[in-house]
Each structure stands twice: as C-alpha cells, then as structure tokens.
Amino acid sequence: MRALWTLALVGVACAKPTAAAAPEGVAWMPAVVGDAPLGITMGAARYVHPALTLERGALAFRHEAVERFDDGAVSAIWAYFDADTPGEPLYEWIVEYRDVGVRDDWVEAHLGEPEPDGDWTVAAGLPWVVKSWRFDEKLVFAAAMPGTEYEEGF
C-alpha cells in the first residue's frame, strides 16, 4: 500500500489509486475525495477524478479544478493544486454540501469537536500539518505543504 501511495505522490502511479491504497488517516476525509489524498500530483488526482474541470482562477500561484454533482449530499468538490511546485501537488480539497446539516453530521461523526479556533488539526500521517474548517456550506481540508499558500501556517 505504501508503495502505491509513494508512486502516486510522484505522479507515476500505474493503477488507479483507491481508498484502500491510500495511506493511513485518509478515513478522516469524506469518501467523495478520500480516494485522492492531499499531496498527489494534479495528473494523478485528475486520473482518479476525470470529471475535475480546471477553472480560470484569479490567483496565479494555484490551479483550481471543480467537479459538480447533480444529486447526492455533495454538490461539488474543489481541488487546489500548487502551480509553482513540480508535479503541481494537491494541497486543498473543498467539499461543498447541499445541506449544512448533512455536513455537520459528517463532521461530528468523523472529526469530533473543533479546537477553540473552530478548526480541526487532522492527524493525517502525512509529512505536513493538515487543517480542516467549515466555510459557508463547505468543508475545507488543507495541507501546510512547502511552497503552498499555507506553508507558513493557517
């Protein structure tokens, strides 16, 4: 399992990554994005989620992609990739829910009580700090990866 994860990080995975092949800790992410963990390359993430469509973003330092859903609890997922780092790693997932109550139920079941600032520091087993927070109807997961907007913290 770790070998597939390592290959996905460098963008040469030969097989479609699955939730089972992800590193320990991905269970804290909603299933709709858990099969493309933070840190994989843009190419690997778009292989797992071929419907991710690049959007014209206002910020040159990142690529933004979205996948929209016609039904279900999640209306869209947004992926942010660092444009200045080799491999353009995925450093942020935003999961947009149709119903805030459904989002909050998921948060309660999987993340528990937030820290005093309202965020969660997720024990991800990854080489970076990962934070999660709610914003409007969204749930954000972001990694403080070197070279990204969160490199210095959140």
Total count of domains within the chain:
1
Phi/psi for 125 (5° steps) reads 70, 20
- Asked whether residue 35 is domain-assigned, the answer is yes
In a domain, 153, yes or no: no
Whether residue 9 is contained in a domain is answered as: yes
d(CA 141, CA 135): 11
Question: pLDDT in tens for each of the 154 residues of the chain?
Answer: 333 333 333 333 333 333 223 344 456 789 899 788 899 999 999 999 999 999 987 789 999 999 999 999 999 999 999 999 999 999 999 999 999 999 999 999 999 999 999 999 986 677 889 999 999 999 999 999 998 999 988 8
151 lies in some domain = no
Q: Is residue 148 part of a domain?
A: no
Q: Which pTM does this prediction carry?
A: 0.81
> What does the alpha-carbon distance between residue 85 and residue 93 come to, in Å, rounded to a whole number?
17
121 in a structural domain: yes
3-class DSSP assignment, residue 125 = coil
Could you tell me if residue 154 is inside a domain? no
Could you tell me the residue range of the domain that residue 93 belongs to? Answer: 2-143
Note whether residue 150 is domain-resident.
no
Say which amino acid occupies 144. A
